[in-house]
Every structure is written in C-alpha cells, then in structure tokens.
Amino acid sequence: MEFGWFEYSPGLMKIDTNGNKIWAKAYDFIDSYQIITKTLVEIPDDSIYFSFCFDPSWPVPIKSNIREDLVNECRLLKFNSVGDTLYSYHYTNIGWVNALIYDEGFLIVAGGTNYEDEEWNFHSKPTIIVVDTSGNLTFRKEFFTDTNGRINSVIKKPDGDYYVAGSTE
C-alpha cells in the first residue's frame, strides 16, 4: 500500500505573469512529509519570508502540561528573489501557522498551539508570535485559552490596531 502524503516536501515556485515557471525550490527536512506550506510575505528590502508547519492530520505534535512528547513545530525561511535561502528559523512555541504579515521590522505569525488534554484528546489554542527579521522571538500570546481554536488571518489597520480572524469550537 502506498500513501501519497509520505512523498510531499514543502516548496515554492516563482512564475511570471503568463504562468510560466521561472524557478522552483523544494526543501527536504527530516519528516518533511508532515509539513505543509501556509504563508508567504515580502518585506521592503526585497527579501521574502516563507513559513510552513506540520500537517496536523498525521501525526499530531503536542504539548502537555504533564510531559512533552512531540513539540509544536514551525519553520520560517528567508530567501531572496532568485530563491536562495538566506536564513532558516525553527520554532517550537507555535505549531500551526495560518497567517504571516510584515509590520515595521517585525513578522506577525498567527495560528495555533496544540495541546493534549488527556491521551489522544487534542486541542489548539489561538496563538500569535512576533519575530524580528533576524528570527528572534520578541512576543508570544495565546487567546481564548479555554476554547479550541486557531487564528486564520491577521491584518493591521492604519490606527496601529490589528484585526484577527479565526475559528473556535
């Protein structure tokens, strides 16, 4: 029996306005079949950030207040306009990344952190982390900690506030 999801690796591609491929890159990390691509953002210096995280369908990385089995996992790559990887950052304090925006020298990363309540009973807490463009974590916050949910989108308004959209159970 063959399962296709064991064969996927995260990657990205640059195309022109006619849909022609200019270049393509694939990243082969350990257990990369579990990782899915979620976000892409360009910053003013022409650098591009590419974020991907585990596939929560199989297996489910978790954090437990009793023990830490597998960890939440997110990877953020910085690359240039020809696809060369400049930096790779690995974070274990958020596991599901759905949104990535650039805001005055910082990347706002939004998604969810996964927890195990009891054996094989999982839930996710809506989470935002903020990292600078060197990859240093500067802020982390979970929201609606008594519910199961994820942040799916974030935008910044001209007044400096943010709108965050997502889902809760």
| Greater model confidence, 30 or 159 | 159
CB 97 within 8 A of CB 116: no
3-state SS class at 5: helix
- Beta-sheet strands, E only, within 10-148: 11-15, 21-26, 35-42, 48-54, 74-79, 85-91, 96-103, 106-118, 121-132, 137-142
Residue 145 makes CB contacts below 8 A (sequence gap 6+) with 125
According to DSSP, the residues that pair with 156 across neighbouring strands are: 162
87-121 pLDDT per residue, tens: 888 888 887 888 999 999 999 999 888 877 766 66
The two tokens of residue 99 are 């949104």
Q: Give the per-residue pLDDT at 70.
A: 53
Q: Give the per-residue pLDDT at 100.
A: 92
Res 145 pLDDT > 80: no
Kindly give the pairing relationship between strand 96-103 and strand 106-118.
Answer: antiparallel
56-77 pLDDT per residue, tens: 554 444 555 544 455 577 888 8
Averaged over 116-133, what is the pLDDT? 82
The amino acid sitting at 48 is I
3-state SS class at 34: helix
- Choose among 144, 88, 87: nearest CA to 113: 144
pTM: predicted TM-score of the whole model, two decimal places: 0.80
3-state SS class at 49: strand
Q: Give the per-residue pLDDT at 60.
A: 47
Most confident of 23-32, 77-86, 104-113, 117-126: 104-113
Averaged over 46-63, what is the pLDDT? 65
146-162 pLDDT per residue, tens: 778 889 999 999 999 99
Burial class of residue 13 (count of CB atoms within 10 Å of its CB; 0-12, 13-18, 19+): exposed
